Amino acid sequence: MLKPTIGPLVGHITTDHARLFIRGEIQKDLQVFAGVRYRISGSPHWIKSVFAKLSESRDMSAVITLNHLREDTEYEYQTGWFCPMSPVHTVDSVAELPLQWPREIYRLRTRCNQPLQARAYIIGSCRYLRLTAGIAVLPQLGDRIFASISQLIEGRQPPVSALLMTGDQVYLDDLNLIAPDREYTDMLAKYRAAFSQPNIKRLMSSTSTYMILDDHEIEDNWPAHAEAGDNTLYNNAIKAYELYQASHSPAFSLTTNGQVDHATLKHYWYQFSDGDLEWFVTDSRTRRTLSADDRRILDEEQEQVLLKWLVNSPARVKFVVTSVMFYPDRKSHGDDAWKAFPEQRLRLLETIRTHRIKNVIFVSGDVHGSLTSRLTHSEDLDFDIHTIVSSPLCNSKLLPYASESTFILDQPLAQTAAGDYRHELTSKVVSQDNFAHVVVEAQQIRVNYHDRDGDLLQTIDIPLR
């Protein structure tokens, strides 16, 4: 067996289930299979081997699921791909072959349902990796920060439950004015380059990773800048996104035999839980309505599901991920974010306020600057929400960093007959490459921002109620 060309990438994990993304390589006129075998860490015996047939239609990739796992347990696994000599093999028959597995052993941990247990996450967005003629230019710049993340979380308590990548994991339009990617093969090449760098591979091979797209997975400021004839560009970009980012997420349901059901994807937004914490990862990019009479950044179905979840979920802390900023608003170039959809934003805020929902945290990226901010209400002292913004993981030299002067901070976010929504920064604005290490404790959320070398920039404590 050969090592995966991309991956293994650990995706969605529950108390008894894990998803692993693996890519092999095309072998002309030969069948190609990928396999995973796993065991409880320290055990001398492998529990089971699971195989998948790879096809060119999925860029020789597969998501293999591990089922019936033990809660809060560390597992070891090995993985690779191979071509059997016989052309009639199936995923069942290859399990009987005497395979030589790649020597490297990876580890993952299943979720724990215990309430009030401290949990940690890494949050980041906007990872620029420039390609020229399909080759990464100075790839160590776009990969450097992931080595720092791995070093930070190794042996750290509480262990990191997941890596949240909240948009612009790739820049398909990095040379948008000269030669934007429009062809599917070019987009696949960019994903392969982005996810095959050594440091990000190491991190994602052992850390549950959740992703959601933003505009650069399609085109800058999509769909506001869409032109006639862009349907092909969009369809190709979305097909690549589904393959490399959505495939290992909860957006895909499982078949009756516990494998990912590729035929049932209905939308890109999804939910997942981690003990008494819950996450709602919105799609604030592909379901927009830009008509003047009914502007929406989330489609009606997604909004209704989100509101119902906010009201009815018993989660102790509710994280809402939106790739573009919920607040504060930017002074310029803010029409790509929630600033341009004030009615829908106000509906969410009024739902949280009138139902007295506590401990709602909005998580986003996009602006190439990191910050935390608090939102209150002039007449309702019980209303209190926070935002955590983390961006960028790696900036382009062509793009500026955000600073405090970027944002509108001297006027209410929204004004209603019932009172004003007022916001204030609770941190400095980080204007360099960085990531957030977020620790949720019983009484507070601690947000630690680190630079690309892993050095601590600032710490902010958000009290829980």
Name the nearest CA neighbour of 434 among 398, 401, 399, 463.
401
Q: Which residues contact 276 (CB under 8 A, 6 or more apart)?
A: 115, 116, 314, 315, 316, 317
Name the nearest CA neighbour of 171 among 222, 205, 225.
222
Distance CA 365, CA 321 (A): 9
Question: What does pTM read for this prediction?
Answer: 0.96
Structure-token pair, residue 129:
């990796």
Distance CA 200, CA 151 (A): 12
Structure-token pair, residue 197:
């760098």
Beta bridge partners of 446: 439, 461
Contact between 14 and 67 under an 8 Å Cβ cutoff? The reply is no
CB atoms inside a 10 Å sphere around CB 50: 20
Taken as a whole, the chain contains a residue count of 465
Query: Quick one: how far is CA 1 from the chain centroid?
Result: 30
> How does DSSP assign 415-438, residue by residue?
EETTEEEEEEESSPPB-SSEEEEE
Q: What is the pLDDT of residue 178?
A: 53
For the chain, the average pLDDT equals 95
Which amino acid is located at 291 in the chain?
S
Name the nearest CA neighbour of 188 among 56, 301, 371.
56
Coarse DSSP helix, strand, coil percentages of the chain, rounded to the nearest 5 percent: 20, 30, 50
Which amino acid is located at 256 in the chain?
T
Distance CA 47, CA 74 (A): 13
Block mean pLDDT (10 aa), the chain, length 465: 97 98 94 98 95 97 97 98 92 94 97 96 94 71 95 95 97 66 89 95 98 95 89 95 98 92 93 98 96 93 98 98 98 92 97 98 98 98 98 92 97 97 98 98 98 98 97
Give Cα separations from 165 to 146, 168, 280, 402 (angstroms).
Answer: 12, 8, 13, 19
What is the end-to-end Cα distance of the chain in Å, rounded?
52
Q: Which residues contact 374 (CB under 8 A, 6 or more apart)?
A: 384, 385, 386, 423, 424, 426
Sole residue written with tokens 């060119």: 56
Contact between 254 and 261 under an 8 Å Cβ cutoff? The reply is yes
H or E element, residue 152: helix 139-153
> How does DSSP assign 203-217, residue by residue?
HHTTS-EEE---GGG
Give Cα separations from 207 to 84, 107, 183, 448, 455 (angstroms).
Answer: 31, 9, 31, 18, 21
Distance CA 101, CA 216 (A): 37
Distance CA 143, CA 296 (A): 35
Q: What is the pLDDT of residue 131?
A: 72
Q: What is the pLDDT of residue 388?
A: 98
Q: Which domains does the chain show, CATH number per domain?
A: 6-109 (2.60.40.10), 119-463 (3.60.21.70)
Q: Buried b vs exposed e over 337-351: b needs ≥16 C-beta within 10 Å?
A: bbbbbeebbeebbbb
Q: What is the pLDDT of residue 263?
A: 87
